Chains A and B, each alone.
Chain A
Amino acid sequence: QPDPLITEVQPWASGWGDGVDATPYGLPIEFEDDVIRRNVGWLTADTISSINFTPIHALDGTITPTGCAFERHHSGAIELKKEDYRLMINGLVDKPLVFTYEDLERFPRENRTYFLECAANSGMEWAGAQLNGAQFTQGMIHNMQYSGIPLRTLLEEAGITNLGDQIKDKWVYAEGADASSNGRSIPLEKALDDCLVAIKANGEALRKEHGYPVRLVVPGWEGNMWVKWLRRLEVTDEAVQSREETSKYTDTLADGTSRKWTWVMDAKSVVTSPSPQMPIKHGKGPLVITGMAWSGRGHITKVDVSIDGGANWQEARLAEPGTDKAVSRFYLEIDWDGSEMLLQSRATDSTGYVQPTKDALRAIRGENSVYHNNGIQTWWVKENGESENVEVSS
């Protein structure tokens, strides 16, 4: 039967489309309007201090489109004009300084692509499978290209030579301009290593929800430390022990003691499609399994995929060589026979760290950790192509 979409002249092949002035700054076409950030209402008392989730199930490649990159605010996303922006560097520096936004633009800057993952990503899954969808179980992540000034450059402008070899014992306390301030203490060594003071993301000004006009970039470390609306950096002798580094973002183990300063994000991966929000609709035959992998300790060197719940693994194909502290995309093309699969992915990073199972993590940490759940995700793909979030025996 000939396809009328081919044999008949369609309206779009005959009439006009939009002129170039129709959308001076564009959004995705209306047919993609389900590819959006989503909130889980029961998680928090109010959206002003809450989090939403990147629709990772529907995305491909590695760069997260800025408009659907997840948000996390502690006191709402504020509107701070460049003209009203000030950055202070004070504390144990030779000369405390204040920079305007225009001052920052005059420093040499770098372009670097990094993932930002909330420490609580997959946090709802510690006690067992709970949410159905890669977006909800693993969507507290985005991966962007930042243009920014090395934090080292700004600290050296204020002068840290007086510290000599005490540098390894010192801290930088970073705080934002919003009501929460979200202050975090960062070891000075990390600040001097690879942190950036970012003024652009994915080539354009930071979005309001990502800290316009200036945010801190702390590669590989938990997202809470990437202070938004960055207003002050103070070099100190000790950690401030702020709310976000004591009462929150600490990990309580089974015996009731808690780990603090658990900054680095361990290697992790997830199959984004097929997944609960991305059912297989085409039946058996060629199937593209794809997902993302990342590590806060280095770059992704290998991703393995299992379709039988971890009994046997095949090495997936990395779309590009991994880069440090950035998302890698992987693909595994299979000939699906239409039978059930227990689909998993497992990341290995450049330090040799292999993503563990959830049970392996629980054996060490118990179930009350909240943060830093990098365990292997399982999707139970059924014969009809639909998937469910499950866990399997080890």
Chain B
Amino acid sequence: EKYGLGREALPEEINAWTVEVFPDGKNLPEGSGSVADGEKIFGDNCAACHGDFAEGVDNWPKLAGGDGTLADKDPVKTVGSYWPYLSTVWDYAHRSMPFGNAQTLTVDETYAIVAYILYSNYLVDDDFVLTKDNFLDVEMPNADGFIVDNRDEVEVPKFSEAACMSDCKTDVQITKKATILDVTPDEGNGEDTAAADTSAETDTAQSDTAQTDTAEAPAQDAPAAAEEAKAEAAPAESLSADPELVAAGEKVFKKCKACHQVGDGAKNRVGPVLNGLIGRQAGTVDGFKYSSAMTQHGEDGLVWTEQTVEEYLADPKGYIPKNRMSFAGLKDPEDVKAVLAYIESQGG
């Protein structure tokens, strides 16, 4: 029975959303990218989380290495050691990366990034250029490493025997205890308090091994020069005095918080903490790995003020070429003002 509901999808609409790439290369667009180009694009867009050599930063996924570890305790699962299809890498990078700025990579940039990830796994040489035409020639080391779920044959018969009800075993001993590890979060605030020195693996997309996030260095005191600049730059009345502006800024900050934290307990994430932003010399948050472009701008005297933040956010890549922030920017000065009000209200 048909209800006659909905309307026919237009070809342009189908094309816009049908972006998945199949293992046989179906839906892969024409294009190409070299390892050399990929190294630069990866550095700008991916390295903040995945490391310059795709080795992974903190708990973010490792994309390279792990060769031959799958049968070990705590295998290292990367594109090189685990992923069976190259199409999946292309599809995911093009569709869902960079994290917080998805669907901004061009087709050629995606080819280049995939080429660089292959290079990082020693699967291609440094002069390799990945194209639609040679895509299927790349051999994935673990392509034959998968079997279809066989629980019905291997497990279900064994686990379908009548359950024992009495005298099922003797001498019951405790063999393992959770308190030895003590990695349970404190219930009071939902934050974990204990150091987790454990190798348990989780399913989570961003983590292959569970471990403590160690990057907790607080923002260092700003250099003297910046302190002076702060005194000069400080507006007569602080932006955060306006609660409506702060509230508007909190909404704008949603665009930022995928990568930046601010406030009590803020840590460096994909981007540096924004505590103490106004008046700070660019590129100086302790423990954060900046692009050389950002560090250089700071050393050349760039200090974050309402005006410089506004200029920067209007066109991040134009204002500081080769910096790592993969964010299109905030075009409306009112948005910048609001977000600064919010950041300031949080200790920025």
Which residues on A are within 8 Å of B, measured CB to CB? 34, 36, 38-46, 48-51, 74-76, 88-90, 95-100, 103, 106-107, 118-120, 123-133, 136, 156-157, 173, 175, 179-181, 183, 231-232, 234, 236, 238, 240-243, 246-250, 252, 254-264, 266, 276-277, 304, 308-313, 342, 346, 348, 351-356, 360, 364, 367-368, 370-371, 380, 388-394
The interface centre, meaning the residue of B59, B162, B169 with most chain A CB atoms within 10 A of its CB, is: B169
Q: Taking chain A's interface residues, is the majority helix, strand, or loop, or is none over half, making it mixed?
A: loop
Docked complex Cα distance between A248 and B2 (Å): 38
Interchain CB contact (< 8 A) of A240 among B20, B59, B176, B191: B20
Please, how many angstroms separate the alpha-carbon atoms of A312 and B166 in the complex?
4
B14 touches A356 (CB 8 A): no
Who on chain A is nearest to B258 by CB?
Answer: A48
CA–CA, A392 and B204, complex, Å: 28
Interface status of B224 (Cβ within 8 A of chain A): no
Distance to closest chain A CB from B70 (angstroms): 4
Stretch at the interface among B205-213, B287-295, B309-317, B326-334: B205-213
State whether A49 and B99 are in contact (beta carbons under 8 Å apart), knowing that A38-B187, A124-B200 are contacts in the complex. yes
B70 contacts which of A131, A252, A342 (Cβ < 8 Å)? A252
The chain A residue sitting closest to B95, CB to CB, is A181
* Cβ–Cβ contact A180 & B96, under 8 A: yes
With a cutoff of 8 Å between Cβ atoms, the chain A residues found around residue B150 in the complex are: 259
Chain B residues within CB distance 8 Å of chain A: 1-3, 5-9, 13-14, 17-18, 20-24, 49, 58-60, 70-71, 73-75, 77, 79, 82-85, 87-88, 91-92, 95-96, 99-100, 102-103, 145-151, 154-156, 158-179, 181, 183-185, 187, 190-192, 196, 198-207, 210-213, 258, 269-270
- A353 in contact with B159 (CB, 8 Å): yes
Specify the chain A residue showing the minimal Cβ separation from B101: A179
Contact residues in A for B169 (Cβ distance below 8 Å): 310-311, 393-394
Tell whether, in the assembled complex, residue A247 and residue B83 are in contact, meaning their CB atoms are under 8 Å apart.
yes
CB distance from A282 to the nearest CB of B (A): 21
Closest A-chain residue to B207, C-beta based? A44
Contact of A364 among B24, B60, B155 (CB under 8 A): B155
Q: Which of A243, A266, A346, A368 is within 8 Å of B75, CB to CB?
A: A368
Distance A249 CA – B82 CA, assembled complex (angstroms): 12
Which residue of chain B is the closest to A125 with respect to CB atoms? B200
**A39-B185, A311-B168 known; A46-B176 Cβ under 8 A:** no
Q: Which residues of A contact B96 (CB under 8 A)?
A: 74-75, 179-181, 243
Is the pair A42, B183 in contact by a Cβ cutoff of 8 Å?
A: yes
Report Cα–Cα, A264/B155, bound state, in Å: 13
Q: Which residue of A46, A124, A311 contacts B210 across the interface (Cβ within 8 Å)?
A: A124
Q: A74-B205, A312-B166, A356-B155 are in contact. List 18 more A-B contacts (CB 8 A).
A: A36-B190, A38-B187, A41-B213, A44-B207, A45-B59, A90-B14, A98-B9, A179-B102, A241-B22, A246-B84, A247-B83, A252-B75, A258-B82, A311-B168, A354-B163, A360-B159, A368-B75, A389-B177
CA distance A342 to B169 in the complex (A): 13
